């Protein structure tokens, strides 16, 4: 009984079933006052579902929730907030046109009809100062960086007097030094007696920051450990139940073929806050993986868009398989054999309400047309669907599942199967492993290496330097829309590339 | 549960609940007015559905509604909100009337084909303006289609008050009567005309193409996630323009059908808001073909009921506007209900 009283949150036997998926299977979880509790697991392990149940976003099919030792029903986020539970979602819920202070005020539990700005600002400043949040309270939210917006979300929870704070993959959107800052804030919050749950699939983050780590796999809790007891290896074993081999490029020298894609002096106009590309020269040969490194927002996305024909080229020439394709439409380029594997497949590569099969069919509808498009050859699409997954050594997904219901890792498998089951010569990967768990990311990496072995060209845009080093034959570095360096991974190291990425290193020709 | 039932369970339930809510609230309104809702419903049902003549008039009203609903549904599939079916309807009537009045000596089938095509071109052009502006990424189509609705009657007005005005009826702003070769044939003894069958025909084509064809899949992909569609090489801008033009063409067809079948001449009062009713129908049906058929019938029934209520219950025709407004509320409430479902 005493242990029940001590825990601020105790979940017992939580079970939640979605159509076709058992997201949580009798999950037990507890959280103590003044504790940082990491929830670790791969995509689709049920972490998000569990905290969303605690926050009243979903209702559990069965199981009990105790808050401060009392059994409660949490039917909505409002009820969760009344219990002092707050959550920072992956996608933020701020109103861009309002200032930081206004956004926070909107969220306060007892918002008076007229706001006394002075009191509000005093409270805000105190909180900012205490936790070193470094925010301009009068700045409109659209001007803030993602990291700052995340701090506004936290500020909202603090001012609304939440004592139990849930963070859903807070580090996913942050750059490394922002992650450190966030962990410092976590520590201070803990010292003030707040209880924190934070979701991650990165082992190192859980080990550096958490007091306890609960590992989930396929909707179940595998175990709870402290960082002292655990090591990366133990956690990997808990997450996957088996040893995962690291994916690296084969040791023997690659056979480099003919150039597949060539960009010559490409320039574009800048749109909005996106940088313009300036004099981009780039060659991708068959049997080669060319990595593109850079701090995100330095023109990598634009580079991908230029290759796909989505961004207008103002100067320069684009050659694909020896043909000038500078003015080709995206459709022509896709049909000519460019496969595209983006980050966040749900927003960039699939139609959320389409079934997996329909999404698969979108790869190149001209191929599947009967009677000039009056009908589609679904039998052939189904056959290719099975083949596409088999070729990559993946088990096929259910045909009729809606894309929106799939986990990020499974969506990326669908995109891989789709893009690589049609005739292609070049893969453009735009952060293809971002946000994926280790196993799904490895599936992507394996597919890229297989493509390379078949003599296809691969352009891999990534922020993960370890990934670039282990896969690429050459690494290009982008900064402010230019290519500022070219390296061979065996002749350089992380810190050299890191310096060039941030504009301090020596620039190679 | 068989696959068929599972697919239709939610839409069917949604339609039923919508209808019940609307009838219930309007019944309360009738009670407030001191009328007997049961009797009023029975009377209107008897007069407009059970009575063969009433039923045929109701179906006559369905003809333009099927087409204007499609005019909203097709752009809806690529993620556009076409509020401009009313204007496209007027322009279709205008260009169709030009073909009816200025071409002579053609046999009836050819003349009809010509005026149908002219009507469709008129509507398509009126739909192409917002479509093009949207495809270029300049202006939101909801605003332009809405504003063009105010422009269209002025253009029609210019012609019926000016160059096309019938000299023998100087008192009325209207064109001369169409030649007999330009009148839509109808089933003997009723006003049920060719337009209704064209409406059914295009509804069937829509139902097939949107679910089975490559074009339907591409359009739904554009509507579902334009960003992904663009990256998959689907020509998003082209589909936006095409959807607006095809939608406009069908609204234009509704316009010329109404003029050539019912009025026999172009004048100002040719639409009691068919374009807007089409919008309502589509949002009730969520672009589902069967839903469009059912909801067209329902809205036609409501429009016809106005007259019955006027006669049997001595209610002003405006009472029907209350009903239409109620429907609009239910429609607007729906996205929320849908969100709650997720």
Listed as own residue / partner, the contacts of A69-78 with beta carbons closer than 8 Å and 24 or more positions apart are A69/A4, A69/A5, A69/A6, A69/A7, A69/A10
Question: Rounded CA gap, A452 and A388, in Å?
Answer: 17
Instruction: Locate all alpha helices (DSSP H) within A97-231, ordered by sequence.
Output: 100-107, 117-131, 146-159, 176-191, 203-209
Which residues of chain B approach chain A closer than 8 Å at the C-beta? Answer: 209, 212-215, 217-218, 220-221, 224-225, 227-235
Q: Are B224 and A375 in contact (CB < 8 Å)?
A: no
The angle subtended at Cα B203 by Cα B201 and Cα B206, nearest 5°, is 110
Separation CA A236–CA B125 (nearest Å): 62
Supply the pLDDT for residue B4: 56
CA distance A307 to B138: 25
Taking residue A412's Cβ as centre, other Cβ atoms within 10 Å add up to: 30
Residue A366: list chain B partners with CB under 8 A: 214
Which tens digits make up the pLDDT trace of B302-341? 888 877 777 777 777 777 777 777 777 776 665 544 433 3
Coil vs helix vs strand at A325: coil
Structure tokens at A126: 């105190």
Instruction: Compare CB distances from B231 to A342, A352, A376 and report the shortest one's residue.
Output: A342
Whole-model pTM: value is: 0.71
Cα angle B194, B116, B249; round to 5? 110
Q: How far apart are CA B176 and CA A418, in angstroms?
A: 61
Residues B264-292 have pLDDT tens digits of 889 888 888 899 899 989 988 888 899 89
Instruction: Specify the pLDDT at position B315.
Output: 77
* pLDDT score, position B332: 66
Let me know: does B237 contact B77? Beta carbons within 8 Å: no
Q: Look at residue A107 in the predicted model and tell me its pLDDT.
A: 77
pLDDT in tens, B27-56: 888 888 888 888 888 888 888 888 888 888
pLDDT above 70: percentage of residues in chain A: 91
User: Is the CB of residue A317 less than 8 Å from the CB of residue A265?
Assistant: yes
**3-state secondary structure (DSSP) of residue A199:** strand
The answer to whether A374 contacts B234, with C-beta atoms less than 8 Å apart, is: no
With CB atoms and an 8 Å threshold, state whether A375 touches B213: yes
Distance CA(A65)–CA(A69), nearest Å, equals: 9
CA nearest A58 in B: which residue?
B342
Q: Is pLDDT larger for residue B160 or for residue A243? A: B160
Q: Spell out the residues 6+ positions from residue A118 whose beta carbon is closer than 8 angstroms to its own.
A: none
Is A365 in contact with B217 (Cβ distance < 8 A)?
yes
- The CA distance from B232 to the nearest CA of chain A, in Å, is 7
Query: Which residues of chain B does A330 touch, with a Cβ-Cβ cutoff of 8 Å?
Result: 230-233, 235
What is the C-alpha to C-alpha distance for residues A196 and A216, in angstroms, rounded to an integer?
17
* Distance from the B220 Cα atom to the nearest Cα atom in chain A, whole angstroms: 9
The two three-digit tokens of residue B33, written as one number:
């007015």
Sign of CA dihedral A104, A105, A107, A110: positive
Mean pLDDT of chain A: 85
Which of A308, A365, A369, A432 to mutate: most B Cβ within 10 Å? Answer: A365
CA distances from A170 to A88, A143, A173, A182, A378 (A): 8, 20, 7, 9, 41
Whether the CB-CB separation of B299 and B64 falls below 8 Å is answered with: no
| Residue-level pLDDT at B123 | 96
What's the order of all strands across the beta sheet hosting A21-31?
A21-31, A9-18, A62-67, A70-72
Name residues whose C-beta falls within 8 Å of residue A425's C-beta, 6 or more positions apart in sequence.
Answer: A260, A286, A320, A321, A336, A337, A338, A456, A457
Q: Do A330 and B231 touch (CB under 8 A)?
A: yes
Tell me the percentage of chain B whose pLDDT exceeds 70.
93
Contact B228 A374 (CB under 8 A): no
Asked whether A11 and A65 are in contact (CB, 8 A), the reply is yes
Are B215 and A353 inside 8 Å of each other by CB? no
Question: Would you call B233 and A368 a contact, using CB atoms and an 8 Å cutoff?
Answer: no
Cβ burial B34-70 (10 Å sphere, 16+ → b, else e): ebebeebbebbeebbeeeeebbbbbbbbbbbbbbbbb
Structure tokens at B30: 């009738």
For residue B209, the model assigns a pLDDT of: 92
* Least CB–CB distance from B225: residue in A310, A334, A347: A347
Three-state DSSP state, A284 = strand
Dist CA A286 CA A290 (whole Å): 10
- In this prediction, residue B336 carries a pLDDT of 44
- B217, B227, B231: residue with CB nearest A358: B217
Q: Which of A310, A358, A366 sits opposite B231 (nearest CB)?
A: A310
Contact A304, A428 (CB under 8 A): yes
Nearest CA in chain B to A405: B342
Which stretches of A43-175 are DSSP H helices?
47-54, 77-82, 100-107, 117-131, 146-159
The fraction of chain A above a pLDDT of 90, given in percent, is: 25
Check the CA dihedral A138-A143-A148-A149 and report its sign: positive
Report the C-alpha gap between B248 and A195 in whole angstroms. Answer: 59
Instruction: Judge: A352–B232 Cβ closer than 8 Å, yes or no.
Output: no
Q: For residue B341, give how far its alpha carbon lies from the nearest alpha carbon of chain A (Å).
A: 11
Residues of B in contact with A358 (CB under 8 A): 217
pLDDT digits (tens, 9 = 90+) for B121-178: 999 999 999 999 999 988 999 999 999 999 999 999 999 988 888 877 667 788 888 8
Which residue of A lies nearest to B342 if distances are taken between CA atoms? A58
**Distance of CA B318 to CAs B51, B251, B272, Å?**
24, 25, 13
pLDDT tens string A472-484: 999 999 888 889 8
pLDDT level of residue B96 (50, 70, 90 thresholds): very high
Average pLDDT over residues A418-433: 90
A482-487 vs A474-479, strand pairing mode = antiparallel
DSSP A454: T
Average of per-residue pLDDT across B205-234: 90
Query: Of A6-20, A232-246, B166-180, which range is least confident?
Result: A232-246
Contact A45, A38 (CB under 8 A): no
How much is the pLDDT for B2? 53
Asked if A366 lies within 8 A of B214 by C-beta distance, the reply is yes
Q: What is the mean pLDDT of residues A192-219?
A: 88
Q: What are the pLDDT digits (tens) for A86-139?
A: 998 877 778 888 888 888 887 776 666 666 777 788 888 888 888 888 888 888
d(CA B51, CA A397): 55
Say which residues have a Cβ less than 8 Å from residue A333's Cβ, sequence separation at least 6: A307, A308, A309, A320, A325, B233
Q: Do A330 and B212 touch (CB under 8 A)?
A: no
Q: Do A353 and B228 touch (CB under 8 A)?
A: no
Supply the pLDDT for residue B333: 63
Q: How far is B230 from chain A (nearest CA, A)?
A: 7
Q: List chain B residues with CB under 8 Å of A311.
A: none
pLDDT-derived band at A443, boundaries 50, 70, 90: confident
Do B221 and A362 count as a contact with CB atoms less than 8 A apart?
A: yes
* pLDDT value for B89: 96
Q: What is the pLDDT of residue A4?
A: 47
Average pLDDT score over chain B:
86
Whether pLDDT at A509 is above 50: no
Contact B213 A358 (CB under 8 A): no
Question: Which residue has better confidence, B197 or A236?
Answer: B197
CB-nearest to B224 from A351, A364, A376 is A351
Q: Do A351 and B215 touch (CB under 8 A)?
A: no
pLDDT band, very low/low/confident/very high, at A507 (cuts 50, 70, 90) = very low
Mutate to test the interface with B, among A345, A374, A427 (most CBs of B within 10 A): A374
Residues of A in contact with B228 (CB under 8 A): 347-351
Q: Which of A400-414, B12-26, B94-108, B202-216 has the lowest mean pLDDT?
A: B12-26
Q: Has residue A508 got a pLDDT over 50? A: no
Nearest of B88, B99, B96, B97 to residue B151 by alpha carbon: B88
Give the A-side interface with B, CB within 8 Å: 308, 310, 329-335, 340, 342, 347-354, 358, 361-366, 368-369, 373-376
In this predicted structure, what is the pLDDT of residue A253?
Answer: 63
Query: Rounded CA gap, A205 and A50, in Å?
Result: 20
DSSP result, A348-383: HT--TTSBHHHHHHTT-HHHHEEGGGTEE-HHHHHH
Instruction: Write phi, then psi, for A263 (nearest 5 degrees).
Output: -110, 130
Nearest-CB residue to B230 (from A310, A352, A353): A310
Give the pLDDT mean for B15-37.
Answer: 82
Residue that wins the pLDDT comparison between B189 and B93: B93
> Smallest Cα–Cα separation from A48: which of A89, A15, A92, A94?
A89
In which band, very low, low, confident or very high, does the pLDDT at B11 lie, cut at 50, 70 and 90?
A: low
Q: B278, B65 in Cβ contact below 8 A?
A: yes
Tell me: ipTM over 0.85: no
- DSSP annotation of B168: G
What CA–CA distance (Å, rounded) separates A221 from A28? Answer: 7
Q: How many CB pairs under 8 A join A and B?
A: 73
> Measured between CB atoms, which of B212, B221, B233 is closest to A351?
B221
Which of B3, B232, B340 would best serve as a mutation to test chain A binding (most A beta carbons within 10 A)? B232
pLDDT at A251: 63
* Subunit contact A349:B229, Cβ cutoff 8 A: no
Mapping DSSP onto H, E and C, the string for B280-312 reads HHHHHHCCCHHHHHHHHHHHHHHHHHHHHHHHH
Q: How far apart are CA B55 and CA B49, in angstroms?
A: 5
Q: Where are the alpha helices (DSSP H) in chain B?
A: 3-32, 37-45, 52-77, 85-102, 108-135, 141-161, 194-212, 214-224, 226-231, 236-258, 274-285, 289-312, 318-341
Picking from A103, A175, A173, A167, the residue whose alpha carbon sits closest to that of residue A135 is A103
Inform me whether the pLDDT recorded for A272 exceeds 80: no
Output the pLDDT for position B1.
44
Question: Minimal Cα distance from B233: which residue of A?
Answer: A331
């Amino acid at each position: 009984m005493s242990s029940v009283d001590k825990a601020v949150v105790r979940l017992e036997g939580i079970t939640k079933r979605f159509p076709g998926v058992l997201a949580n299977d009798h999950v037990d979880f507890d959280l103590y006052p003044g504790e940082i509790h990491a929830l670790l697991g791969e995509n689709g392990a049920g972490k998000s579902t569990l905290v969303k149940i605690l926050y009243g976003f979903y209702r559990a099919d069965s199981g009990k929730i105790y808050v401060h030792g009392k059994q409660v029903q949490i039917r909505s986020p409002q009820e969760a907030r009344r219990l002092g539970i707050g959550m920072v979602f992956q996608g933020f819920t701020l109103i861009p046109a309002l200032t930081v202070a206004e956004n926070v005020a909107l969220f306060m539990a007892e918002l008076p009809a007229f706001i006394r700005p002075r009191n509000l600002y005093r409270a805000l400043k105190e909180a900012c100062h205490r936790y070193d949040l470094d925010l301009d309270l009068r700045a409109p939210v659209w001007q803030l960086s993602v990291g700052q917006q995340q701090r506004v979300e936290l500020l909202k929870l603090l001012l609304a007097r939440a004592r139990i704070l849930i963070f859903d993959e807070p580090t996913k959107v942050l750059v490394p030094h922002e992650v450190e800052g966030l962990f410092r804030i976590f520590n201070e919050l803990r010292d003030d007696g707040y209880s924190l749950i934070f979701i991650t699939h990165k082992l190192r983050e859980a080990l550096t920051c958490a007091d306890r780590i609960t590992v989930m796999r396929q909707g179940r809790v595998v175990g709870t450990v402290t960082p002292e007891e655990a090591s990366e290896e133990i956690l990997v074993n808990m997450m996957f139940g088996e040893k995962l081999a690291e994916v690296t490029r084969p040791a023997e020298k690659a056979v480099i073929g003919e150039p597949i894609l060539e960009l010559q002096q490409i320039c574009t106009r800048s749109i909005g806050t996106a940088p313009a590309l300036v004099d981009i020269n780039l060659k991708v040969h068959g049997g080669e993986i060319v990595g593109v490194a850079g701090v995100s927002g330095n023109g990598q996305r634009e580079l991908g868009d230029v290759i796909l024909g989505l961004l207008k080229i103002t100067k320069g020439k684009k050659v694909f398989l020896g043909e000038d394709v500078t003015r080709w439409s995206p459709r022509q380029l896709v049909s000519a054999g460019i496969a595209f594997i983006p980050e966040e497949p749900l927003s960039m590569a699939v139609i959320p309400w389409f079934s997996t099969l329909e999404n698969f069919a979108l790869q190149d509808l001209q191929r599947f047309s009967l009677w000039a498009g009056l009908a589609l050859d679904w039998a052939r699409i189904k056959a290719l669907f099975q083949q596409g997954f088999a070729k990559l050594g993946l088990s096929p997904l259910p045909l009729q599942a809606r894309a929106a219901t799939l986990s990020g890792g499974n969506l990326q498998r669908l995109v891989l199967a789709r893009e690589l089951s049609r005739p292609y010569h070049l893969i453009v990967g735009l952060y293809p492993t971002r946000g994926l768990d280790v196993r799904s990311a490895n599936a992507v990496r394996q597919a890229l290496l297989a493509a390379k072995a078949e003599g296809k060209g691969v352009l891999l845009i990534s922020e993960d330097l370890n990934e670039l080093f282990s896969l690429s034959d050459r690494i290009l570095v982008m900064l402010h829309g230019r290519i500022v360096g070219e390296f061979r991974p065996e002749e350089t190291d992380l810190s050299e590339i890191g310096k060039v990425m941030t504009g301090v290193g020596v620039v190679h020709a | 549960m068989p696959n068929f039932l599972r697919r239709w369970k939610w839409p069917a339930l949604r339609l039923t609940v919508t209808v019940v809510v609307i009838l219930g609230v309007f019944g309360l309104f009738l009670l407030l007015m001191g009328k007997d809702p049961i009797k009023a419903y029975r009377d209107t049902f008897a007069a407009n559905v059970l009575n063969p003549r009433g039923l045929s008039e109701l179906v006559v009203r369905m003809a333009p509604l099927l087409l204007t609903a499609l005019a909203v549904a097709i752009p809806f599939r690529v993620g556009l909100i076409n509020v401009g079916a009313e204007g496209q309807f007027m322009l279709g009537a205008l260009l169709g009337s030009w073909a009816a009045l200025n071409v002579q000596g053609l046999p009836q089938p050819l003349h009809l084909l010509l005026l149908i095509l002219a009507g469709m071109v008129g509507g398509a052009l009126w739909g192409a303006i917002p479509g093009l502006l949207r495809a270029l990424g300049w202006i939101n189509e909801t605003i332009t289609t809405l504003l063009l609705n105010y422009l269209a009657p002025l253009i029609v007005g210019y012609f019926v008050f000016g160059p096309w005005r019938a000299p023998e009826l100087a008192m009325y702003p209207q064109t001369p009567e169409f030649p007999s070769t330009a009148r839509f044939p109808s089933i003997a003894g009723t006003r049920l005309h060719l337009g209704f069958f064209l409406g059914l025909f295009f509804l069937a084509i829509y139902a097939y193409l949107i679910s089975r064809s490559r074009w339907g899949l591409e359009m739904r992909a554009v509507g579902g996630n334009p960003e992904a569609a663009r990256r998959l090489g689907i020509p998003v801008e082209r589909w936006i323009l095409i959807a607006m033009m095809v939608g406009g063409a069908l609204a234009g067809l509704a316009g010329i059908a109404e003029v050539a079948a019912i009025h026999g001449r172009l004048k100002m009062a040719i639409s009691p808001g068919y374009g807007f009713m089409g919008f309502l129908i589509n949002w009730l049906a969520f672009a589902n073909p069967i839903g469009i058929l059912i909801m067209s019938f329902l809205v036609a029934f409501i429009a016809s009921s106005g007259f019955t209520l006027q006669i049997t219950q001595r209610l002003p025709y405006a009472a029907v506007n209350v009903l239409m407004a109620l429907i609009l509320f239910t429609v607007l409430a729906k996205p929320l209900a849908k969100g709650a479902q997720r």
